[in-house]
């Protein structure tokens, strides 16, 4: 999508601090970290949010979760939270699917 911030980040048109990259997904540090570890994992191909996941693109989402598990192991994250906000009321501000990976501090439940 031409006017999408995370499409531009995935394409390298806007700089970001890379955590991991392959043909399907891109992981990078959040610009405003909410925990000592806070990175985002996104599909390279545009998907608006979890609400746009279908049988045609769910393989990408499964792959992203494999990558999250691998990165968490590599970074020795013993406890972490994976979050995806869907819609403005839930806190989504960038409308390209992304999974927040947060770790390194106590977290409350339920979330605020």
Residues that bind ligand 5GP (CB under 6 A): 5, 16, 28-32, 85, 91-94
Is 63 a known active-site residue? no
State the minimum distance, in angstroms, from the CB of residue 66 to ligand 5GP. Answer: 21
Q: Which of 38, 96, 98, 100 is an active site residue?
A: 98
What one-character-per-residue DSSP string does the chain give?
A: -TT-HHHHHHTTSS---EEEE-SSEEEEE-SS-SSSEEEEEEESS---SGGG--TTTHHHHHHHHHHHHHHHHHTT-SSEEEE---SGGGT--S-S--EEEEESS---SS--
Between 29 and 105, CB nearer to ligand 5GP: 29
Site for Zn ion in 24-63 (CB under 5 A): 46
Return the active site residues: 98
């Amino acid at each position: 999508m031409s006017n999408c911030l995370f499409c531009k980040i995935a394409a390298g048109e806007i700089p970001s601090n890379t955590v991991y990259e392959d043909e399907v997904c891109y992981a990078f540090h959040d610009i405003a970290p909410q925990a000592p570890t806070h990175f985002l994992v996104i599909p390279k191909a545009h998907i608006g949010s979890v609400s746009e996941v279908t049988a045609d693109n769910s393989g990408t989402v499964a792959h992203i979760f494999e990558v999250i598990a691998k990165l968490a192991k590599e970074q020795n994250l013993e406890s972490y939270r994976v979050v995806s906000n869907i819609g403005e009321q839930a806190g989504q501000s960038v409308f390209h699917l992304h999974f927040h990976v947060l770790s390194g501090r106590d977290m409350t439940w339920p979330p605020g």
